[in-house]
C-alpha cells in the first residue's frame, strides 16, 4: 500500500479574493500551488484509500448545514506566519474540525496545538505593511475539499463534499 499525504480544507469563494492573492504573491511561497484556504485537518499521512476516506468524511459531515463565514484583520503568530482572522463562523469551523478528527482521523489529532480558524497570507517579520488592511471577506461554506499534497507541495483535489 502507498502512504499518501493529504489534508482537508475549505476553499472560500470570496468576491474580493484577489486582495488576499495580492498579499500572498509577495509573502506565501505556495501562492501558485494552492488557493486561499482554511485548513480543517492538517497534513497527514495514512494508508486509507482515497475512496474510503471520502466515504467516511461524507458520512461524518452528512448532518452539517452550510454556514456563513467572515474574515477581517490580520495577526502575526509566533512563527511569523500572517493570518487573516476569522471573525464570524469560528464555532462552526471548529466544530467541523473537531468532528472530522474525532470520528474519522482520531490518531492524527495533535492535542498540543490549539486550533484557530484562519487563512494564511504568508510569512513576514512584521505586519506593519498591513496596518491599513481592513477589508472584510464573506462567504457561505457549503463544501469541504480533500486534497492530496503532491511531491512539489501542489494541491491535487481528490474529493469535494457538499454540506447539506
What pLDDT does 147 receive?
96
Q: Show the domains of the chain with their CATH numbers.
A: 4-162 (3.90.1140.10)
Above 80 in pLDDT, residue 2?
no
Residues 98-134 pLDDT 10s = 999 999 999 999 888 889 999 999 999 999 999 889 9
Alpha carbons 144 and 22: distance in angstroms, whole number: 24
Structural contact between residues 38 and 66, judged by C-beta atoms closer than 8 angstroms: no
Mean pLDDT of 48-73: 96
- Cell numbers of 34, please? 494552492
Q: What is the largest CA-CA distance in the chain?
A: 50
Mean pLDDT of 132-160: 94
Q: Indicate the pTM of the whole model.
A: 0.94
Amino acid at each position: 500500500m502507498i502512504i499518501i499525504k493529504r489534508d482537508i480544507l475549505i476553499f472560500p469563494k470570496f468576491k474580493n479574493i484577489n486582495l488576499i492573492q495580492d498579499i500572498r504573491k509577495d509573502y506565501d511561497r505556495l501562492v501558485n500551488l494552492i488557493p486561499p484556504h482554511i485548513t480543517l485537518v492538517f497534513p497527514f499521512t495514512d494508508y486509507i484509500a482515497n475512496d474510503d476516506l471520502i466515504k467516511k468524511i461524507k458520512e461524518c459531515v452528512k448532518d452539517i448545514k452550510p454556514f456563513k463565514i467572515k474574515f477581517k484583520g490580520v495577526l502575526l503568530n509566533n512563527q511569523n506566519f500572517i493570518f487573516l482572522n476569522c471573525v464570524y463562523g469560528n464555532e462552526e469551523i471548529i466544530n467541523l474540525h473537531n468532528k472530522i478528527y474525532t470520528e474519522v482521523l482520531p490518531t492524527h489529532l495533535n492535542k498540543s496545538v490549539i486550533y484557530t480558524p484562519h487563512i494564511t497570507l504568508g510569512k513576514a517579520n512584521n505586519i506593519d505593511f498591513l496596518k491599513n488592511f481592513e477589508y472584510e471577506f464573506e462567504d457561505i461554506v457549503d463544501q469541504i475539499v480533500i486534497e492530496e499534497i503532491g511531491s512539489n507541495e501542489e494541491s491535487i483535489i481528490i474529493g469535494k463534499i457538499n454540506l447539506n
